[in-house]
Amino acid sequence: MERSGAKRRVYDIIQIGNQNDSPSRAFDIFLVCVIILNITAMFLETFDELADYNRLFKGIEAATVMVFCVEYILRIWTAELLYPGIGKGKAVCRFLLSYDGIIDLLTILPFFFLSGFVVFRMLRVVRIFHLFRINSQYDSFNVIKSVLYEKRNQIASSVFIIIILMLAASLFMYNVEHEAQPEVFRNALSGIWWSVCTLFTVGYGDIYPVTILGRAMAIVITFLGVGAVAIPTGIISAGFVEQYTRLQHETSTLAQELTSIVIGDDSAWIGKRVLDIEQEYSVDIVLIRRGTDVTAAKSTHVIRKGDQVAYL
């Protein structure tokens, strides 16, 4: 029982986004600091001027990777609590093949195989995505994911339009400018580089038209590029407005249907997880108010004295 209780407590602490548990929130902050420290050391290693500090950077990298290893082992150890009811072995396999498990593994591998294939050295960049894994548990990132998923068809259509416009612009410019400057517009690929820089209004200036017809076409393509790039931007912006409007409407509607109670000294819910309460009392806990903070209830949240709980 003691071992089971310790595993439960470790699970509650390492669960990302459990804002109602102070140790869990402190662990999230600590993990973010470790990731940032790791990435900073990785960046600083690339500066020749800081070659004298490479041993320090290697030490920081080794220490932070050890933290990642410990976290990875703890998540494997508590996988059966993350996926209850499917058995320990299946839970571990499910975690290892999940997005979180893969990102954790790819964060660790490059350190141990850094002197091997180039692909392992490139995997060091995956450590940056570790931050996305943490942020994905918070509402702000969930809204972004929802908007991108709901508008995926419109975004794909707008990207397709941009690709077609980019290919057409590159071929037009190649045909017009190739004879005037063959060393610059050597092939259609050179035209693609120019079209991308122009359509996205970057304008590096390394490739540019010199003929009158080429410059005239460049003006038209630049205007088309401004409009083309604005299409996905407008779609995503409209999606954010729709999402927040929907959330506000759902919150106001839900508030009228919820039952709200304040957890007193004699409440049987004190110290219990939301998941356990929902299973035992056949309720659906939606919101938890603790002081001035109001959060959406998650299965791992632990109810404390003084909490205001809204449920269906």
Query: 257 vs 40, which has greater pLDDT?
Result: 40
Q: Which segment, 68-72, 187-191, 270-274, is predicted with the most confidence on average?
A: 68-72
Measured between alpha carbons, how far is 168 from 165 in angstroms, rounded to an integer? Answer: 5
CA 267 to chain CA centroid, Å, is 38
Cα angle 37, 40, 45 (rounded to 5 degrees) comes to 125
- Checking if the pLDDT of 128 tops 50, the result is yes
Query: 300 vs 266, which has greater pLDDT?
Result: 266
- Checking if the pLDDT of 2 tops 60, the result is no
Query: 139 vs 156, which has greater pLDDT?
Result: 156
List the structure tokens of 116.
């091997």
pLDDT in tens, 7-39: 888 887 777 655 666 787 788 788 888 888 888
The pLDDT value recorded for residue 1 is: 47
The pLDDT value recorded for residue 136 is: 54
- Token pair 């003006």 is found at 219
Work out the number of other CB atoms within 10 angstroms of the CB of residue 145. 10
DSSP line for the chain:
-HHHHHHHHHHHHHSTT-TT-HHHHHHHHHHHHHHHHHHHHHHHTT-GGGGGGHHHHHHHHHHHHHHHHHHHHHHHHTHHHHSTTS-HHHHHHHHHTSHHHHHHHHHHHHHHTTTS-HHHHHGGGHHHHHHHHHHTTSHHHHHHHHHHHHTHHHHHHHHHHHHHHHHHHHHHHHHHHTTT-TTTS-SHHHHHHHHHHHHTT---SSS---SHHHHHHHHHHHHHHHHHHHHHHHHHHHHHHHHHHHHHHHHHHHHHH-EEEE--TT-TTTT-BHHHHHHHHT--EEEEEETTEEEE--TT-B--TT-EEEE-
Measured between alpha carbons, how far is 95 from 79 in angstroms, rounded to an integer? Answer: 6
Work out the number of other CB atoms within 10 angstroms of the CB of residue 73. 11
- Compute φ and ψ for 288, nearest 5 degrees: -130, 125
CA distances from residue 53 to 44, 57, 124 in whole angstroms, order as listed? 9, 6, 19
* 3-class SS letters over 145-167: HHHHHHCHHHHHHHHHHHHHHHH
Written as one letter, the residue type at 35 is I
pLDDT in tens, 148-167: 888 888 888 888 888 888 88
- Domains of the chain with bracketed CATH: 2-137 (1.20.120.350), 152-249 (1.10.287.70), 258-311 (3.30.70.1450)
Asked if 91 and 83 count as a contact pair (C-beta separation under 8 A), the reply is: yes
Query: 219 vs 299, which has greater pLDDT?
Result: 219
pLDDT in tens, 266-281: 888 887 888 888 888 8
Written as one letter, the residue type at 171 is L
